[in-house]
Structure 1
Amino acid sequence: MALCTALAEELARSGVRLAVISPGSRSTPLALALFREEAIETEVALDERSASFFALGAAQATGSPVALVCTSGTAAANFHPAIAEADLSAIPLIVLTADRPPELREIGAGQTIDQIKLYGDSVRWFAEVGSHEADDAGLLHFRSLACRAYATATGDPRPGPVHLNFPLRDPLAPVGEPDAVTASRRLALEGRRDGPLTVVEKPTCGADRPTVNRLVAMIQGAERILILAGRQTDTSIREPLARLANACSAPVLAEPTSQFRLGPHDRGAVITAYERIARRRESSLAPDLLIRLGEFPTSKQLRLWMAETDPAQTVIDPGYGWYEPVRTADLIVRCDVAALLHQIENTAEQRVEGPAGNRFWNAWMEAEKRERREIESSWTREGKLDAGEVHARLAGLQSDGGLIYTASSLAIRDQEESIPALDADVRFLANRGANGIDGLLASGLGAARATGGDTTIITGDLGFFHDVGSLALARNVEGRVRIVVLNNEGGGIFERLPQREEMDADEFEALMRTPAGLEVEKAATLYGLPFHRAPDLDALQAAFEADADAVSVIEVPVSG
């Protein structure tokens, strides 16, 4: 226990504030140490997959590492999907798996699998901790491990998951602990009282001066500048991006998870209907310089169009991955995005004509108005609601400071195409690294738990039932959380794919659309959650405003 206690102390001193624990015998020392550490709050989740996505959502919402604990065997394997998402989305997780000691491996001992480098290249760092005595060397080793795990998970340039594997021997309960500690050095026994044993400083940096000058020259030499704002997890780019866009007369194609489409900043440059605009392939809207911030937006048509027009292209990214799906970038700058935007702003001269006098800017603004009118006029008031209108209404209803967590597949695409630029100070999150539908409820609940803010989770019916067991985690969350289920009776996204026309109707229904045939209300009732069905916008608003301090489920039947 003393070794695990030292580890927990250092994790807390480094900045870990939440640990998600799945119960088990082999992990007792780890679980107890974290549970007893006053600076770390703990949540217990029976299902390891739910636990891992809960931790993922909490870490994504806060940007701070969350510790994740499980026992040996397949329990650890259930963490893998969330770890894959954390890897691709650069989300910091500290994964602590208990394991059988070496003498119990490969001999048929129960609950034993090969956990060495279990997650492969999906983790930034793996350590097989080994067996140690609670002497000076052992305690300092565990303290140092914790500091390194935290520093690597939050690392520069690429945060992400780390994995420490602990082969633990009996006795697993804290029996005879005082006699087991032989350390004498105060540093080993207590660590540093004013902070962690080792601190790794990671200053926020922009680009070097030659790179900034090169970017400024590209901007000043271009006539038709377009900015694509991809996924960001915080709102730090809002003000500098708004100023740069206006100074450069550059429309900003902002997906919701860029955190730029909505907010109290100047949104005059925001373009929301770029999927529809891209389909038209209007030559007057083609840029000669494309500046991308982070990942490419979800829109497939936009990616295809930009590949066809082949403008000069610069990608500004913190270094989280090779976000180059069209493979045409001239320059990739890896640095803090907001810091570089400030550098460009401070170096570049404002254009004399400004946005109002720029034909390219005006053409984009006219296209945006035209397509917004068409989008909103397509929302029928007859029969089931249109999913796009539901997304737009939910964004308008969400309170300032709130959070919307959206499922992959059809939900994120409908959201991207439908939400207008609004002044609501709302953040949008999604699991868009691996793009799976798994773990969405757990992720959203984890984000709500970590932030304590007003949260809306949006999913389709298949995503809801895929992760329905995570509703058990609702008991861990305080405050108002709404789980909005857009029920189109199956995998509606497949209706947009070629398989819809190329497969036999019965085969398509059985293999692709796969309606669940289950009732959302019964699932909510099973977990003791308030339930509302919202067949129209008035009912949606009433359900949205109900249950002020509870996790509730709102089913919205939608077309498509």
Structure 2
Amino acid sequence: MGRVRSQNNRFLQDTFMKSTAENNYYFSYQLIDQLIKQGVQDFFLAPGSRSTPLVLAVANHFEARSHIHFDERGLAFYALGCAKASKKPVALIVTSGTAVGNLLPAVMEAKHDFVPLILLTADRPPELRDCGANQSCNQVNIFGSYVNWQIDLPCADELSSIKSLSTTIAQAVYYAQGPVHLNCMFREPLSSAHKSPEPLSSIHYTRACLIPSSFIIEQYASLLKEHTNGIIIATATSPVDPVVALAEKLHWPIFPDILSPLRALNHPLIISHFDLILKTHPCSFEAVVQIGERFVSKVLLQTLEKSPPKLYLQVLEGPHRFDPTHIINHRMQSDIPSFCQMLCLKLATSQISSHLPLWQTRQLQTAKKLSDYFMKQTTLSEPAMAHLLGQKNSALFLGNSMPIRDANCYPSVVSGPVFANRGLSGIDGNIATACGIAIGTQKHTLALLGDLSFLHDVNSLALVAKCPYPCTLIVINNQGGGIFSFLPLDQPKTIKEIFFATTHEVSFSSAAKLFSLPYYAPQDLASLKNLLQQDPHSCIIELMTNREKNLLDHRQIEELLSEMFSSLKQKESTLSL
């Protein structure tokens, strides 16, 4: 400890020009080393001058994994995807000025989806702030409320104690249940070649779990026993085994969100077609237990809002409110596995009511009707594409707008993890996020994107071209925003096309050529299936569809199911719903 302090004092007291470069590197290396000691392995860097000390520290640290991209906006989504998939904090390093501002869209998404991003932004020293210095702006508090914690670190030669860096980094990682921001000031000369210093010792925080009391568990067990017509909504953060055990105790069906790991489970309580069933066969529920934060299905949200359940219990691990319809009447903040396990111990196994067999019948009938329908299809359609995706054993990234809605509505058997940017549900940065997911999962990633999402992030095709794990991009090109065909816009067609659909005539073959990526344009479903059965490789698969026909395809499927449920209605009327 004494040797580290004396070494620190030597750096702090040296006033020669060389000492500034040494101080910058010493500070940066210790910062990177402390992040690694706290579990950060992946560092995402964009080129820049002011960030040179941080970049060299990453380059010279044998435990750091570096990922480089020229576009800070895409870089941030690249890091977001990796952190989302690996469930570990990652670090971004960018230079000063607009490079920092370009991180904001991904930071906003990370904040709302609790993705751990550590932002290391290089900055000018105090004497170059607010004086018109080149590439200088106010970076302090630049992300506002979108970061969980932030600090404006002094220049390396002004640190009162280098040891404070250990506690600062530990604090940053502790708060990284979302983005945190470390603004790092550097004076010139920025760095020079020299030996890396002896690392500092590290500080470790321990995060405790919230365990409910037996009294609280008994209260909820008593409430749940009063209801038989109930469902469990499993969101993206729902643990599989505890939720299934609770459903088996209650004999309630599970409605798994498209992003929930329970979607891949082959279990008689899983109702994967709930979205389409509710759309064509409206229902109501006495009780709901929602495990986790948000879910994708707007149909389910509207169903619950139209006929609020008597008991609506939400169990989640954080303190944040996820209740857009304001109908949740019980909210429990707890470690979810512990809550489910403790509740199961207090619950006697319920008798199977008529409610569960009805939902199981609806699930089987819907699955068969969809299977029969899609088996007959030969032409490309957006519902058929979504139904086909589950047959691929890969990580799956779903773009916002229509892709994730179709995947939720027309699911097949999902065999791998499913991801999407649902914090703020933007269509930007989707290609970069998919590449980050490939890095985070270390496996082939299949991404289904709309054409406007693709256009938003064309720069990130450079990441696809060099991704160490195959990243297959399937882009649905319907010449504009297909989702606007489904919205009740009482406007002339020309207004819809120009101001909402933002129509275009772009084909993506040239984009593939620009980044030396294989390109395919299958003309029918058989050709597409053959492509997806090939050895995974990074490529672009462009599917040309028609927005008007897509609307008709969706309506045709809904009409088929409505007819089916009408024929079953008489049989179901003899049972209690």
When the two structures are superposed, what TM-score results if normalisation uses the length of structure 1? 0.89
Quick one: which of 366, 377, 390 aligns to 1:395? 390
1:277 is the counterpart of 2:277: yes
Match status 1:446 vs 2:441: no
Q: Which residue of 2 aligns with 1:295?
A: 293
Q: Please give the alpha-carbon distance, in whole angstroms, between the structure 2 residues aligned to 1:320 and 1:483.
A: 36
1:418 lines up with 2:410 in the alignment: yes
Equivalent of 1:102 in 126, 134, 147: 126
Deviation, structure 1 residue 378:
5.2
528-537 vs 26-35, which moves further: 528-537
Sort the Cα spacing of 1:522 and 1:513 in 2 relative to 1 into closer, same or farther, 3 A.
same
Of 16, 37, 45 in structure 2, the residue corresponding to residue 13 of structure 1 is: 37
Shifted more, 202-211 versus 532-541: the winner is: 202-211
What is the match of residue 268 of structure 1? 268
Which region of structure 1 is more displaced relative to structure 2, 358-367 or 89-98? 358-367
Q: Give the whole-Å Cα distance in 2 for the aligned partners of 1:190 and 1:539.
A: 56
Shift of 1:504: 1.5
Alignment of 1:327-406 (within 5 A): 327-351=326-350, 353=351, 357-376=352-371, 379=374, 384-396=379-391, 398-399=392-393, 402-406=394-398
Q: CA deviation at 1:379?
A: 4.5
Identity value in percent: 27
**Would you say 1:142 and 2:165 are equivalent positions?**
yes
Q: In the TM superposition, what whole-angstrom CA distance separates every residue of 1:299-354 from its partner, at most 9, and x where no partner exists?
A: 22211111122111001111163110110111111123233222222332212x3x
2:249 is equivalent to residue 231 of structure 1:
no
TM superposition shift of 1:369: 3.1
Q: Pick closer, same or farther for the CA change 1:375–1:512 going to 2, 3 Å.
A: farther
Any idea what the Cα deviations from partners look like across 1:86-111, whole Å, max 9, x if unmatched?
Answer: 00000000000011112112211111
The residue type paired with residue 542 of structure 2 is E
Q: CA deviation at 1:275?
A: 2.5
For residues 78 and 67 of structure 2, the distance between their equivalents in structure 1, rounded to whole angstroms, comes to: 9
Q: Name 1:246's counterpart in structure 2.
A: 248
Task: Choose the corresponding residue for 2:510, options 500, 517, 522.
Answer: 522
**Structure number, greater radius of gyration:** 2
CA drift at 1:12: 0.5
CA contact (8 A) 1:458 1:485 kept: yes
SS in 2 for 1:260: helix
Aligned to 2:111: 87
Q: SS at the partner of 1:166?
A: strand
Per the alignment, do residues 177 and 257 of structure 1 end up closer, same or farther by CA in structure 2, a change over 3 Å counting?
Answer: same
1:454 Cα shift? 2.0
1:78 CA drift (Å): 0.3
1:103-160 per-residue CA deviation (whole Å, 9 max, x = no partner) reads 112211111111111100010001001124387x43212222222111111xxxxx10
The alpha carbon displacement at 1:29 in A equals 0.7
- Residue aligned with 2:443, SS: coil
Q: Deviations over 1:384-403 (max 9, x none)?
A: 4221221221111x22xx31
Residue in 1 that maps onto 2:261: 259
Contact 2:378/2:524 (<8 A) preserved? no
Q: Confirm or deny: 8 A CA contact 1:244 1:345 kept in the other structure.
A: yes
For residues 461-512 of structure 1, the C-alpha deviation after alignment (integer angstroms, 9 at most, x for no partner) is 111111111011124422332111122221100001112xx11211211111
Partner of residue 201, structure 1: 206
Q: For 2:307 and 2:403, how far apart are their aligned partners in 1? A: 29
2:151 aligned partner: 127
1:185 — aligned with what? none
Residue of structure 2 aligned with 1:433, choices 423, 426, 437: 423
1:555 lines up with 2:563 in the alignment: no
Q: Kindly tell me: are residues 49 and 320 of structure 1, through their superposed partners in 2, closer, same or farther at Cα, counting changes over 3 Å?
A: farther
Match of 2:566 in 1: none
Please state whether the residue corresponding to 2:540 is helix, strand or coil: strand
Q: Tell me which of 520, 538, 545 is aligned to 2:526.
A: 538
Pick one of 195, 200, 216 that aligns with 1:191. Answer: 200
Match of 1:170 in 2: 188
Give the structure-2-normalised TM-score: 0.86
Q: How many angstroms does 1:173 deviate by?
A: 2.0
Give, in angstroms, the shift of residue 191 of structure 1. 1.7
| Contact 1:20–1:44, Cα closer than 8 Å, also in 2 | yes
Quote the offset at 1:382 in angstroms: 6.2
The answer to whether the Cα contact below 8 Å between 2:156 and 2:186 also exists between their aligned partners in 1 is: no
In structure 2, C-alpha distance between the alignment counterparts of 1:474 and 1:280, rounded to whole Å: 39
Contact 1:379 1:386 in 2 (8 A): no
C-alpha distance in structure 2 between counterparts of 1:208 and 1:36, whole Å:
49
The 10-residue stretch of structure 1 (290-299 or 3-12) with the greater mean CA deviation from structure 2: 290-299
1:60 aligns with 2:60: no
SS of match in other structure, 1:450: helix
CA contact (8 A) 1:281 1:305 kept: no
- 1:206–1:392 distance in 2 versus 1, CA, 3 Å: farther
* Distance (whole Å) between structure 1 residues aligned to residue 149 and residue 423 of structure 2: 19
Contact kept in structure 1, 2:247 and 2:269, CA below 8 Å: yes
SS of structure 2 residue aligned to 1:67: strand
Deviation at 1:217, TM superposition (A): 1.6
1:208 Cα shift? 2.7
Q: Distance in 2 between matches of 1:453 and 1:290?
A: 36
Q: Distance in 2 between matches of 1:34 and 1:341?
A: 42
Mapped contact 1:533–1:539 kept (Cα < 8 A): no
* Structure 2 counterpart of 1:518, one-letter code: V
Distance 1:475 1:37, change over 3 A: farther
DSSP-derived class of the 2:150 partner: strand
User: Does the 8 Å CA contact 1:58/1:443 hold for their aligned counterparts?
Assistant: yes
* AA in 2 matched with 1:365: Q
The answer as to whether partners of 1:27 and 1:70 remain within 8 angstroms in 2 is yes
Q: Could you tell me how far apart the structure 2 residues matched to 1:361 and 1:342 are?
A: 22
Which residue is equivalent to 1:76?
A: 100
Asked if the contact 1:43/1:476 (under 8 Å) is kept, the reply is no
24, 42, 53: which one aligns with 2:48:
24
- Work out whether residues 268 and 360 of structure 2, in 8 Å CA contact, stay in contact via their aligned partners in 1: no
d(CA) in 2 for partners of 1:553, 1:488:
16
Unaligned 5+ runs, structure 2: 1-24, 551-577
Q: Taking structure 1 as reference, are residues 212 and 518 closer, same or farther at Cα in structure 2, changes over 3 Å only?
A: same
Contact 1:484 1:556 in 2 (8 A): yes
Contact 1:314–1:332, Cα closer than 8 Å, also in 2: yes
Cα distance in structure 1, aligned partners of 2:304 and 2:357: 20
Describe the shift of the 1:377–1:503 C-alpha distance in structure 2 as closer, same or farther (beyond 3 A): farther
Instruction: Let me know the Cα RMSD of the aligned residues.
Output: 2.1
Q: Is the 8 A contact 1:90 1:320 kept in 2?
A: no
Aligned to 1:156: none
Return structure 1 stretches of 4+ with deviation > 6 angstroms: 175-178
Tell me the SS of whatever aligns to 1:256.
coil
- Native 8 Å contact 2:379 2:525 kept in 1: no
CA distance in 2, matches of 1:26, 1:60: 28
2:259–2:419 contact (8 Å) kept in structure 1: yes
